[in-house]
Chain A
């Protein structure tokens, strides 16, 4: 053993003896890495630090101290551990990296520039209007899979990618996720840890950058790495504690992770926020602050440390090209809907059937659920193959995150389902999903008061409002089994997030099996030249509306009944045309709170039309447990209530 191989080891051993009493977890074998390469990686790490400082100084905003703590880890990841191609940053066979602590974006950009993807001069355009190098990463950049920046979400996405890699692609690629310690207070991180441990995702590495300092004060655990290790171990991970600024230890940790079978690996890296930045390292009050007038001298210090070295970054190893070629375009139901008009079928049941039929035609269609698969009927996909279903247990944040990860790089068409009310648990994940340009499909059952006795905690009354706020989202609200199956088929082929709202009770099949449906196209279900009001209902209120229309017709009053099919985009033209035809009166009825749902969508779409008025019936208060028919009556959305409302409008 030569002295220069021994020295780093002795130094690190000495460091450990001097520092706190953390246990020595690294195998004590001599690293096979030669010291030249180790030095090279250290130099690159410091170059990444410099770039982070320069970029954030140029933009006068950003998080250089958060970048500095992870520089050494990132250097080893990009220039030793990960296999990827600069020529195709999102190649399906490449290793994946997710920067869950998205505010460290500048150093991630610097790593790709160092790898040669784009000129380093581009880094100075951080946060400018005409640069895609935004303050937090978004997939406007061709090397970013998902947007991060809202903390605690990256590991679920990584777990979804890893699950698909291990079980569906059955490929060699590995997934790495870097998480901040402040960020690891988020429950969603531990939902993902549980999922990854349970599914033994040994192709996943979670790296915790334990730099002690949060945004406004030190984190709760500060440098208590042993507690992090115990927690990771308890969640089924192989947990390794390292000095996050020691290149050799970092290398060994990633090598050990790659050799670990049957468990994902958690690398708990003890680091210092601002490490390598004189006067900033480990000091509070530097979160989110560019270095200002300290920048020049700090950069000079680092440059002196690396002696101005221009050694080029090593070229990353190419991935093993074993991710199968897949196609997820043009997915059709394996057979047309096959219902009898007039029979009663719940739309949630039709969802299960549709999911099964889509998976029959394309094995990349997968279903995920949060332990409600026997209520949402997502379980039906298991009849095609149990491989097409991923049980996510009662953890909706992770359910959505895993779906997003599974859908990355177009590896699968993911349908995630639970009670519609519980998607509110994952609103932030859905919001970030839109910024990530994901194509996941969310299916929420048990809409509205029509679920009955379980009561308001289980009733979705704000879900349409929530999904309507999501840019690019398509919001389907099919009123019967036929249109529900077609909604699923459309969702599978529609980019952006799709949401399908299904109901608990069985409802009448109203469309022919051959009926065709389109996003943004309403169906006029009842039409008569003598129509006096346009009635817009959906789901359960479509059926109440039709009953009301029958009652009114028997009294000589005709109403035009329209099924919007998609609440977003809304078919404003059809609604407007019929509203004008009948003289301007529109009545909307929804099993939803008044805000943000069908009534508001219609009223706002027609808000610049004079001579059209929109009267809105909705559930106006927190409802209660009771039989569905009683609740519909009490909350003003039953057929009776609709009839009365029409009479009032016509007075």
Chain B
């Protein structure tokens, strides 16, 4: 089901199976989520409800109550972050990870590429509790093999080198900026370990901690999200009782504006340039 954004979220593709499998809910997100919850009651359906991730804030109370109701709906929010570009901040989700993270029992997926996204949907369909998948507007590089397997709560170590000096944790659009940054740094002899958390909740703290200790304790997180409640805070908190690990967090730290995505990444610290600079600063 969708709130009249099916041609943007691509939920419309389900109609190719059968139009019976799609429920148009029109522009009314509170009802979109409520109807999904009702449809999933008594295990009658596996419901996926989608809209722009920002508009799930319209229905936070319904999602909150959905957790109290022990419901199994799957929410899919597109148009994450400043990477949507010119439509501007009203359409940009910059607090959705924070919101879904507060939901008890929620699984929060943030896949970077098409392979891991398809597997996230498959996992969602089989995971109890509310699930959220954050998707992006721009096309991004496929980074995983078609055969790669994914699990809830298991991070993927995308780049690893014995000489790694920093752990870089990135997701979605910032994964791709992070990989560009890692390439640039490598040409200058600096290696960074790049980790894809895959699920922000539950977070694979063990993998992150192990690599953080391996590289000497420095972690850098980069997210297309406000600073509060997202990837950076999750990582900082999970490791907050580890004295020798520090977490530096890059995020969008003010209300953004309309303009082309690359310009926004640079302005708000998410670009590969900014990541390279941050790594140099950390290593001084």
Contacts and interface: CB of A to CB of B under 8 A. Distances in A.
Interface of A: 59, 61-62, 102, 127-129, 134-136, 138, 140, 147-152, 182-183, 185-187, 214-217, 219-220, 396, 421-422, 424-425, 427-428, 431-432, 434-435, 456-457, 461-462, 465-466, 468-472, 568, 584, 593-596, 599-601, 603-604, 606-616, 621-622
A435 B201 CA distance: 28
Given A427-B57, A610-B246, A616 B68 contact: no
Interface in B155-187: none
A152 B27 contact: yes
B102 A461 contact: yes
Contact of B102 (A432, A462, A604, A614): A462
B259 A127 contact: yes
Contact of B87 (A61, A128, A185, A468): A61
A584 B243 contact: yes
5 contacts: A215-B7, A462-B103, A466-B99, A468-B98, A472-B255
Nearest to B236: A607
Nearest to A140: B257
B4 A182 contact: yes
A622 B243 contact: no
A214 B255 contact: no
B54 interface: yes
B7 A216 contact: yes
Contact of A600 (B30, B61, B229, B255): B229
Contacts of B105: 622
B280 interface: no
Interface in B43-102: 54-55, 57-58, 60-61, 64-65, 67-68, 85-91, 94-95, 98-99, 101-102
A469 B102 contact: no
Given A217-B24, A465-B228, A135 B258 contact: yes
Contacts of B128: none
A369 B65 CA distance: 21
B188 interface: no
Given A136-B88, A462-B102, A431 B241 contact: no
Contact of B4 (A215, A421, A461): A215
B6 A216 contact: yes
A616 B240 CA distance: 9
B90 A149 contact: yes
B233 A596 contact: yes
* Secondary structure type dominating chain A contacts: loop
Interface in B96-135: 98-99, 101-105
Given A129-B257, A469-B95, A136 B248 contact: no
Given A186-B27, A431-B54, A596-B101, A148 B90 contact: yes
B184 to A, nearest CB: 23
A203 B249 CA distance: 49
Contact of A465 (B2, B28, B98): B98
A456 B89 CA distance: 32
Given A187-B28, A217-B4, A610-B217, A599 B237 contact: yes
B102 A616 contact: no
Interface centre among A135, A215, A434, A615, by most B CB within 10 Å? Answer: A135
B242 interface: yes
- Among A127, A462, A584, A595, residue most surrounded by chain B Cβ atoms (within 10 Å): A595
A267 to B, nearest CB: 20
Size bracket of the B interface: 35 or more
Contacts of B29: 186, 428
Given A603-B237, A615-B241, A150 B90 contact: yes
Contacts of A594: 237
Given A150-B54, A150-B58, 20 more contacts: A135-B91, A136-B89, A147-B89, A182-B26, A185-B28, A214-B4, A219-B26, A422-B61, A427-B60, A465-B98, A469-B95, A469-B99, A471-B254, A595-B101, A596-B102, A604-B233, A604-B237, A610-B246, A614-B237, A614-B241
Nearest to B94: A469
A149 B248 CA distance: 33
A595 B267 CA distance: 28
Q: Nearest 9 CB-CB pairs, A to B?
A: A149-B90, A462-B102, A129-B259, A469-B95, A134-B258, A607-B236, A603-B240, A596-B229, A428-B58
B5 A604 contact: no
Contact of B246 (A152, A466, A608): A608
Contacts of A148: 90
B29 to A, nearest CB: 8
Contacts of A396: 61
- Point out which of B61, B65, B94, B232 has the most chain A C-beta atoms below 10 A from its C-beta: B61
Interface of B: 2, 4-8, 12, 24, 26-31, 54-55, 57-58, 60-61, 64-65, 67-68, 85-91, 94-95, 98-99, 101-105, 201, 217, 226-229, 232-234, 236-237, 240-244, 246-249, 254-255, 257-260, 263, 267
Contact of A608 (B26, B90, B248): B248
A183 B91 CA distance: 15
Given A607-B247, A607-B248, A622 B104 contact: yes
Given A466-B99, A596-B229, A127 B86 contact: yes
Given A215-B4, A462-B102, A614 B240 contact: yes
Contact of B60 (A185, A186, A424): A424
B31 A187 contact: yes
Name, among A148, A461, A471, the residue most crowded by chain B CB atoms within 10 Å (CB to CB). Answer: A471
Contact of A102 (B57, B90, B94, B232): B90
A471 B249 contact: no
Contact of B98 (A596, A610, A621): A596
Given A135-B86, A435-B255, A611 B64 contact: no
A387 to B, nearest CB: 31
Nearest to B257: A134
B197 to A, nearest CB: 15
A471 B259 contact: no
Contacts of A432: 90
A593 B102 contact: yes
A471 B255 contact: yes
A621 B65 CA distance: 13
Contacts of B217: 610
Nearest to B221: A607
Nearest to A150: B90
B259 A128 contact: yes
Contacts of A603: 233, 236-237, 240
Nearest to A434: B255
A580 B258 CA distance: 43
Contact of A469 (B7, B98, B232, B257): B98
Contact of A613 (B85, B86, B242): B242
Given A61-B87, A136-B87, A607-B246, A424 B61 contact: yes
A570 B23 CA distance: 45
Contacts of B28: 185-187
A185 B247 contact: no
A127 B61 contact: no
Contacts of A568: 228
Contacts of B98: 465-466, 468-469, 595-596
A271 to B, nearest CB: 17
B73 to A, nearest CB: 16
A584 B7 CA distance: 52
Contacts of A425: 60-61
Contacts of B94: 469
A265 B267 CA distance: 45
Nearest to B100: A595
A638 B192 CA distance: 43
A600 B88 contact: no
Given A138-B88, A613-B240, A187 B4 contact: no
